[in-house]
Chains A and B, each alone.
Chain A
């Protein structure tokens, strides 16, 4: 698919979702279970992206301590959990990865 078509379709889709309830509020009552399941979307999607990034190296699952990205990622998870600071999470995670790559 052409990159411009992706940008356009993705943009229209995103705009429609942002407008959805702002526009529909007076017209429909949405059920509680839908509200709850929407709340679960960010943790599910984001970790579905992050897990393979950390654990799959050259097409193989690598759960060992040799996996620099796994260790740097675990440290980043700790930093993100304790501080909720995006910049600090990126900084510390990159720092640990570069350090491990330099040492090993």
Chain B
């Protein structure tokens, strides 16, 4: 009897390779949005005065699209470094939530794998991975799904950055791509506003950012983010 049960379990087990490909396949449609984003980043980085090597290095060391575009924008406007670091910290805080969200599924994974998977845990890789994790609760080799999604995104990001850097050297700067930054952030922000506290956080942060616009060192951005989060928490509590 117990043998039979075991056989059934083995039959629903997946191989590392099939899990890897499941991750790759799930990630592919997202590349449609990621590749132009990477190219825009590459072009903006050159416009802001970064060398091609620094622009490419940021894509592999920071490996976070919106934080990279924001960093480049802050470098262009001569923002002090500690404000840039603080802004990167605030903007990427959400990754702690992703980390918390995938952590229960990766408990059995060895540390060296955890290090690699953490490096690959971007918005887009997280999004498809957590859907796979929650839909296939008893699957084995789960970490391979995140690896497949992560490597797919990583490759697309490095290559599209390089393409943007090459194009950036050719395309005249008068094309002024700066408005695509605001548009990209709009596209990222809207799905993140899922309920009333989210909306309250966004509106409070936006209004504060306008009121605090003239603060030095772009401190208004940090203040506005904190006010927004506090307002969202207040809205959460008063429900």
Binding site for B on A (CB under 8 A): 1-11, 13-15, 17-26, 30, 33, 35-56, 61, 69, 72-73, 76-77, 80-81, 84-87, 89-90, 93-94, 97
Contacts and interface: CB of A to CB of B under 8 A. Distances in A.
B183 A41 contact: no
A72 B183 CA distance: 9
A41 B90 contact: yes
A3 to B, nearest CB: 5
Nearest to B122: A18
B197 interface: yes
Nearest to A88: B187
B183 A40 contact: no
B139 interface: no
B156 interface: no
Contacts of B188: 42, 46, 86
Nearest to A24: B103
Contacts of A8: 61
Contact of B192 (A15, A35, A42, A49): A42
A38 B93 CA distance: 7
B98 interface: yes
Interface string B84-126: 1100111111111111101110110001001101110100000
A76 B183 contact: yes
B97 to A, nearest CB: 4
A19 B92 CA distance: 12
Given A10-B88, A30-B100, A48-B208, 16 more contacts: A1-B84, A3-B50, A6-B81, A11-B61, A13-B92, A17-B99, A22-B102, A41-B90, A41-B97, A44-B204, A44-B226, A46-B186, A46-B188, A47-B202, A49-B185, A76-B186
A55 B67 CA distance: 22
Interface residues of B, number: 87
B158 interface: no
Contacts of B204: 44
Nearest to B53: A4
Contact of A45 (B96, B225, B236): B225
Given A17-B96, A22-B117, A44 B202 contact: yes
A45 B205 contact: yes
B216 interface: no
Contacts of A90: 36, 180, 183-184, 187
A3 B52 CA distance: 12
A44 B61 contact: no
Interface string B218-239: 0011001111110011001000
